[in-house]
Chain A
């Protein structure tokens, strides 16, 4: 990926997490994950304003191949969802770390970000 954003952290289930300056974090899936899943055809986004515990199933990404749950990397409230994915789920394939981001949450505990690894696992 040529436009890999800085400060990314990764979960073992292939989500990425990017801490932003306002204390919220942006979440998406890794290039490895989008490649393994194949062409995306539908994304079930989390509900705006709802809160999820860490590791809760909060979204679903469906590719031509299969449906995969997305796990909330850390406990918090969903403050923004990427509505562009409703009409263009392929953004996840085209720019998994950029326009293909999925949602943004405000963590219940800002220190939780430290439990998300800094290195991507494959």
Chain B
């Protein structure tokens, strides 16, 4: 067990690597009840989210989910989140646990002047069920009203009923669901999933799975000093329509931000060893960058990392590991999606 953002979290339930493989090949479940859940309700909720979020909620119709950053006026990332359109002027935001202390006041402050009520849902738990077999095992364990909806749910959509919400979203690069439910119902639901063959997975494998999927970790790969362009999230910023004045827009459109001198890339270590956060990266002829998160990829059998490097970096870089420079290949994340190697141009030694 480890302390994480004020919560006691299991790092693993036995073996982190076996838990990782179970999500890639079968199904695993994560107790992610530490995530912050905010409900927004009111006639002004949509307008408020179009002001608060860098991505445009206007793209959403009832039941859809949207990944977005919220930015500060300097274009830095205050947090990343998933927004769900629950219909009837109601929205739900799921943000990080580690940022709760600043994000809840931030959202409330920004909401001033909008007809919107912000409620933190500490009464809800969140269980993610992920893996190729997750879609098969989860729906029949849901309450009857959500069961059929869950079976027909397209990717990045959600269905809700009262205090229950099931979404086809996740943080692993695998298919699956995230289920929000009253805290007191979490343990029975967890036990039923376990009986259905879904394996409990800890925080450790959650990190290696998201890293393989090329997904950022807030506080490591991005923070208030990085713009979405510097952490691989430029695609989540909606500049159209031009008259939508979201927080941070002006800074993102300024010439110095548009120049994009620093970008996010993936790295694959060519030799043995492990890439870790804070290791220095040398882009030949361009200067240095830094690994923002790294580790050993159980699926590929090699060390992988996300790094912030000078724009224009080529196919090769060197990483400083304990004083020695080791060659690495520069790739475009993700490394793994739906159990498949996405960087197949690189030969990876397969370990048992």
Contact = CB atoms under 8 A, between A and B. Distances in A.
Contact of B204 (A44, A60, A64, A86): A64
A44 B351 contact: no
Chain A interface size range:
10 to 19
A122 interface: no
B208 interface: yes
Interface in A38-59: 38-39, 41-42, 44
A62 B273 contact: yes
Interface string A74-116: 0000000000001110000100000000000000000000000
Interface string B290-315: 00000110100001000000000000
B260 interface: no
Contacts of A93: 15
Contacts of B322: 44, 60
A65 B204 CA distance: 7
A67 B296 contact: no
Contacts of A88: 351-352
Contacts of B11: 38, 65
B242 interface: no
Contacts of B15: 38-39, 93
B295 A86 contact: no
A60 B274 CA distance: 11
A44 B208 contact: no
Contacts of B137: none
Given A38-B12, A38-B16, A41-B296, A67 B351 contact: no
A62 B298 CA distance: 14
Contacts, number: 39
A64 B273 contact: no
A42 B273 contact: yes
A40 to B, nearest CB: 9
Contacts of B12: 38
A86 B296 CA distance: 15
B262 interface: no
Given A38-B12, A39-B15, A39-B16, A64 B276 contact: no
Interface string B341-352: 000000000011
B94 interface: no
Interface string A4-30: 000000000000000000000000000
Interface of B: 11-12, 15-17, 204, 208, 272-274, 276, 295-296, 298, 303, 322, 351-352
Given A41-B274, A41-B296, 11 more contacts: A41-B17, A42-B274, A42-B296, A44-B322, A62-B296, A64-B208, A64-B296, A65-B16, A65-B204, A67-B276, A88-B351
6 tightest CB-CB pairs across the interface, nearest first? A41-B296, A39-B17, A62-B274, A64-B16, A42-B274, A39-B16
26 contacts: A38-B11, A38-B12, A38-B15, A38-B16, A39-B15, A39-B16, A39-B17, A41-B17, A41-B274, A42-B272, A42-B303, A44-B273, A60-B322, A62-B273, A62-B274, A64-B204, A64-B208, A64-B296, A64-B298, A65-B11, A65-B16, A65-B204, A67-B274, A86-B272, A87-B351, A88-B352
